[in-house]
Structure 1
């Protein structure tokens, strides 16, 4: 399921990037990707609060996932000069906290979108 969804997400990102190119704010790409994926009939949650639990403390909103598709694939959107190792670690910890197995780190600020997509797995 995750790989099937990943294909749809990557293809959709490609089409968005071909039409708009790099250089817009992350929030713009997030809004458009959310719209395009929901138009394809997918269940997409946007800015989903994810709790963090530390011993007896539960923080109801430890972080917000940019997009979660079909409760299976987490998407973290960037529009930065370059993806840093900390961005990949961020997605991996999000996956661990949610129990999801696949995350896509998508940097729209690349000349070619294929160079801006990083698959991150958590026991997949």
Structure 2
């Protein structure tokens, strides 16, 4: 254990986390644990910042912001709190994304949702590890509309997922996708709202936040735990309103990007 990263600091922090769990018990909202840990860190003289804000940069362009639960000693450790039945692979993938973008030394996932405190250490092993994005063009099926544009769009979406990883909100991925489309010289329009009509009557405006690509494909970018059939039906309705023949639903929530094409 002599080569444990930030061994002494980690030992003190883990003692605080265990004490907070023992005093408060499991399955409370995360904000209570955050505040209690803040008090414990302060009492031990550990420099920390709760809910520290960072910018997400994609191709050196701001795509939004995100927050880490606790930022310790200028990036020696970040703490990510969960109240869940277990520490899941998606929690680890999210923390790795945060390590990559913050360049912190060590991430610790802390789960207050079980019968005893769970914690998992994730050193920043990707700091000096450069992996290039590679794309294998997809073979279009018979009668596929806009095959070249669809392939370019798939490539753009997969590259964003590859670069950013998981754990961000909808608008971060949406903005990154638009940055990627611009870098590939693919024309697009960001549609925030549409007018809804019944026959010739406008019944109101609806917020949609979709991307119309080359006036041919309607794209919805989001990060949701699951997709359902209703989302496909809603997409088809939006396509009718905007006179589009192809739609795409791109879900960035999980470790694998999920894309559904709608006709």
Same topology, TM > 0.5: yes
Q: Which has the higher contact order (CA 8 A, sep 6+)?
A: 1
4+ residue runs of structure 1 moved beyond 4 angstroms?
A: none
Q: 1:84 aligns with which of 88, 91, 101?
A: 88
Match of 2:79 in 1: 75
Structure 1 residue aligned with 2:101: 97
Q: Normalized against structure 2, the TM-score is what?
A: 0.44
Q: CA deviation at 1:21?
A: 1.3
My pick for the range that moved more, 23-32 or 2-11, is: 2-11
Aligned equivalent of 2:50, options 46, 50, 64: 46
* Counterpart residue number, 1:28: 32
SS at match of 2:27: coil
CA separation in 2, counterparts of 1:55 and 1:90? 20
Q: Distance in 1 between matches of 2:33 and 2:93?
A: 21
**Largest Rg, 1 or 2:** 2
Is 1:119 equivalent to 2:121 in the alignment? Answer: yes
Q: Distance in 1 between matches of 2:60 and 2:100?
A: 18
SS in structure 2 at match of 1:51: strand
TM-score (norm 1): 0.90
- Whether 2:20 is the aligned partner of 1:16: answer yes
**1:44-67 per-position Cα deviation (integer Å, ceiling 9, x unaligned):** 111001111111412452x10000
Report the structure, 1 or 2, having the larger helix content: 1
Number of matched residues? 121
SS of 2:54's equivalent in the other structure is strand
For the residues of structure 2 that align with 1:29 and 1:118, how far apart are their CA atoms?
17
Q: Deviations over 1:6-31 (max 9, x none)?
A: 11111111111112210211110011
Alignment RMSD: 1.6
- In structure 2, stretches of 5+ residues that fail to align are 128-263
